[in-house]
Structure 1
Amino acid sequence: MNLTVKLNDILFLDIETVPQEESWKLLSKETQELFSKKTQYQRKDEFTSEEFYDRAGVWAEFGKIICISVGYFVDVENKKQLRLTSFFGDDEHKLLSDFKVLLDKHFVKKNNVLCAHNGKEFDFPFIARRMIIHQIALPKKLNLFGKKPWEVPHLDTLELWKFGDYKHYTSLKLLTSILGVPSPKDDIDGSEVAAVYYKEKNIQRIVSYCEKDTIAVAQILLRFNNQKLLEKEDIVSVN
C-alpha cells in the first residue's frame, strides 16, 4: 500500500469495554427489558437475556470504557519510536475527558488521523456515544456530523485489509499472525476482560493488553507500507 498519510500524523488506539454493571441482577427492570429487546436478534432462542449479559460491553448503551490506549510515532535519531499512553480506571467520565484533552491539544490538525483495527465499526463510534452520554463535547476528530466519507479523519486496518471486500472480516490476531507481527493476544483476549475487571480487579492487566493491541495496529500499518517492524526498544511508555 502507498498511504498518503504520514505516520507521525496518526494516533493509533484501542479501547477495552465491559458491561456497565457486574451482574444482570444489578440492572434496573427497565434496563433489563431494553437490553432484552436490543439483543433479541443476536440471542434468538439460544440464550436468555441474563445469560447474554456478559457480552453487554460491546454496546455503548449497556457497556462502558475502562481503558483507552494510544500510540504515536516520533523520530528519534533517524529511527521511528512509538510512544504509548493509556487512560484507564473506574471513572469513565474522567478517562474520556482526559482523552479529549489529548485530541484537542495534540491531534487537532487537519492532517491528523485516528487509526484502529475495526475502529470505524467499534472504537470510534463507541467513544463518541459514551462521550455524548456523559455530556462531553465531541472532539473534532470524532465529530462526524455532516462530513462526507472522504472527509472522515479515520484509518481502519481492517478496512484497509478488506481491499473493498465488505464481506471479509479478519481479526487482529489473525492479521498479526499472517503478517509476522508479534501477537498481542499472549495473555487474555476480549472475552476475558470483564472477568479480569470485575472479579480479579486487575486493571493493570487490562491496560497491558490494551497497549499490546495498540502496538499491533501500529505494526500492521508499518507492514502495509513494507516498513521495518518496531523492536522492543523502539516502544516507550509515557504514562
Structure 2
Amino acid sequence: MLFLLYLGLKKAMNIKINFENILFLDIETVPENEFYKDLTEEKQELFALKTQYQRKEEFTPEEFYERAGIWAEFGKIVCISVGYFINFKSSDRKFRVTSLFGDEFKILEEFKNLLDKHFNKPQHLLCAHNGKEFDFPFIARRMIVHQIELPEKLNLFGKKPWEVSHLDTMELWKFGDYKHYTSLKLLTSILGIPSPKDDISGSEVGGVFYKEKNLKRIVTYCEKDTIAIAQLLLRFNNEPLIEELNIVHI
C-alpha cells in the first residue's frame, strides 16, 4: 500500500498529468455567526469543548470565536474560486478563473453542479494548497450540513487512497515529510512566483466580511490564491508560469 502511495506521489511530481484535467480551487471561510453571543447556548458549549485544547487558559471561548471559520462545524464558506487551463500545449494557453460567492447553500449547489457536469470523469483532478486537510473536507462537510448530495469527486466513502482524485500542492512539497507545513506565501516566495498575499490574510477574512462587508475584496483575494496554486503546480513540473495577460477572469 505504501508503495502504491509512493507511486501516486511520484507520478504527480513527474509531469505525467494533463493540466487541462485539473480544477484548481481555493475557499474562504468565516464564522457562521458574527458574534459568539449569537450562538445558541448549546452551540456555545460545544464550541468551548471543541476549542479547549487550542485555547488552553489563554483565551475564553468568546475571545477565540473569531477563529471559528476554520472549523466546518462552526464556520461557513463565503467564496470558492476555481481555475482551469485551456489550450495548455499551444501558444494561446489561457487560465480561466471564476468565483462562486455569497449565500453558502447557493455556492455549494453551484460548485456541485460544476463538478457533476464538467469535472466528473476519472481523469479529472481537484487541486488546492492544503486541500486534503482543509478545502476538500470543509466543502464536503458543509454540503452534508446543507443536505446536498456529495459529488463523486468529494465522496471518499469506501475509496482507496490511490482512488482519490485530489492533488495537494502542500502535500507534494512535503515529499513524504508529514511533519512539514509550508504556507502558500512561503512557497510562492522561494519559487519566484508573484505573491498572492498582497492585500489581506486568511485571519482577516472574517473582519472584511462582517465589519467591512466587502465581499468583492475577499473574492479577489481568493482568486489570487487559486492562480498561485496553479503556478505552484507549474513550477513543480518545470512548466513556464502563467503570464498575467493569459489569465482570464470570467
| Bin of the TM-score, shorter chain as denominator length | over 0.9
- Conserved 8 A contact 1:5-1:111: no
**Alpha-carbon distance, 1:5 to partner:** 1.9
- Report what 2:229 is aligned to: 217
**Alpha-carbon distance, 1:3 to partner:** 3.4
Amino acid at match of 1:169: Y
Amino acid at match of 1:34: L
Aligned length: 237
CA distance in 2, matches of 1:94, 1:160: 32
CA distance in 1, matches of 2:87, 2:245: 14
Displacement over 6 Å in runs of 4+: none
CA distance in 1, matches of 2:119, 2:16: 17
CA distance in 2, matches of 1:231, 1:153: 27
- Report what 2:78 is aligned to: 66
- Report what 1:34 is aligned to: 46
Cα deviation 1:73-116 (Å, max 9, x = unaligned):
00175332110110001x11011000110000000010000000
1:168-179 to 2 correspondences below 5 Å: 168-179=180-191
| Comparing 37-46 and 78-87, the one that deviates more | 78-87
**Secondary structure of 1:79's aligned partner:** coil
* 2:91 equivalent to 1:78: yes
1:135-146 to 2 correspondences below 5 Å: 135-146=147-158
Give the TM-score of the pair, scaled to structure 1.
0.98
CA distance in 2, matches of 1:194, 1:54: 7
Choose from 101, 109, 112 the match for 2:113. 101
Cα deviation 1:34-86 (Å, max 9, x = unaligned):
00000001111111000000000000000000000000000175332110110
CA distance in 2, matches of 1:29, 1:223: 49
**Alpha-carbon distance, 1:4 to partner:** 2.2
CA distance in 2, matches of 1:148, 1:3: 23
1:82-93 to 2 correspondences below 5 Å: 82-89=95-102, 91-93=103-105
CA distance in 2, matches of 1:110, 1:216: 25
* 2:154 equivalent to 1:147: no
CA distance in 1, matches of 2:92, 2:134: 32
**Secondary structure of 1:228's aligned partner:** coil
**Alpha-carbon distance, 1:182 to partner:** 0.4
**Alpha-carbon distance, 1:207 to partner:** 0.1
Q: Percent identity?
A: 72
Structure 1 alignment gaps of length 5 or more: none
CA distance in 2, matches of 1:84, 1:171: 22
CA distance in 2, matches of 1:56, 1:37: 13
CA distance in 2, matches of 1:46, 1:79: 54
**Alpha-carbon distance, 1:220 to partner:** 0.3
* 2:120 equivalent to 1:117: no
CA distance in 2, matches of 1:198, 1:169: 29
* 2:34 equivalent to 1:22: yes
